[in-house]
Amino acid sequence: MKNLRIAPKVRNAIENGVPIVALESTVIAHGLPHPHNIETAMLLEEIAIENGVIPATIGVLKGEIIVGMTHEEILQMLQDEPLKIGTREISYAVGLKKSAATTVSATMRIAKLAGINVFATGGIGGVHVGDWDVSQDITEMAKTDVVIVSAGCKSILDVKKTIEFMETFQILVLGYKTDRFPLFYEGLSTYQLDHVVESASEIAQVYLAKKELGIEGSIMVANPIPDEYAIAESEVEKYINQALKECEEKGITGKQVTPYILSRVAQLSDYKTLRANIELLKNNVRLACQIAKELTVISR
């Protein structure tokens, strides 16, 4: 496909049925502070490789979509001060030859175009509190058939509405060994999840059943942060409130809100949230690898 380059290692894996996990680039460019961002990007790729899975970090470099970015390409993208793009903005970046980091929505769409079915991220976007602001992540998950592993969403979102929106948009949420919706680095919430799975193999079975039935959309695997890294809601809340207040004072809106809050909360918590963020990403990649492997076994 024009404007879309699949790295040889990824193309090889697709052709030979080797499991692959897609990774997003917004978390690198806009979610984690330098130099932790690039270190984490590399660490996540290493975890995949150790698990016998090919990682495919997705991003846009000067208008070219890359599936399976190299270390150098990631550095180049960061140097270009990339846009943050959802699916809607992919054509803008490509058409005007911009560098861009892909969010959950754009990453999953591109992964699917390349033939990749499993995607690991940190947290999904959803319904914001206050004025109408609903992430494209939700509408993309409604139509693009992949398994996405995340630690739920941040409590800065309206969690209840986000969960309800996922039902409205027919996105199946599977709680991995939990019946409660996870809140990113805060661990489990009190919101009930009705569909629980106990293994990667069960997730793969559900995904294949969906595929065979031709039911479109994603399966969202809600994978809680490991207990030992979870941070109490009361502690995070005060940092979030402070960051939200600053957003209002500084007139920070739209796409800038999440990156600003993430970096401020990291600073205010003495980087405790940053460590938690990295741990939950690692945890999600490990589970995504298991799912990708199960899928290659079952679909043989």
Which residues are catalytically annotated? 24, 154
Contact between 182 and ligand PSU per CB under 6 A: no
Mark the segment that binds ligand PSU (CB under 6 A) among 23-31, 170-178, 197-205, 289-297. 23-31
- List beta partners, residue 120: 23, 149
From the list 5-13, 129-137, 228-236, 245-253, the region that binds Mn ion by CB under 5 A is: 129-137
Is there binding between residue 26 and ligand PSU (CB under 6 A)?
yes
- Only one of the segments 40-48, 130-138, 163-171, 214-222 lies at the binding site for ligand PSU (rule: CB under 6 A); that segment is 130-138
Burial class from Cβ neighbours inside 10 Å (0-12, 13-18, 19+) for residue 72 reads: exposed
Least CB distance from residue 254 to Mn ion, whole Å?
A: 6
133 binds Mn ion (CB under 5 A): yes
Q: Are 179 and 251 in contact (CB under 8 A)?
A: no
Q: What's the number of CA atoms in the CB half-sphere (13 Å) around residue 34?
A: 6
By CB under 6 A, residue 99 contacts ligand PSU: no
154 binds ligand PSU (CB under 6 A): yes
What is the DSSP code (8-state) at residue 1? -
Do 123 and 91 touch, CB atoms closer than 8 A? no
Cα separation values, 164 from 85, 169, 241, 261, Å: 25, 9, 24, 24
For ligand PSU, the binding residues (CB under 6 A) are 24, 26-27, 31, 86, 103-104, 122-123, 125, 135-137, 154, 184, 255, 258, 262
Residues of the shown chain interacting with Mn ion in the complex, contacts defined by CB under 5 A: 133
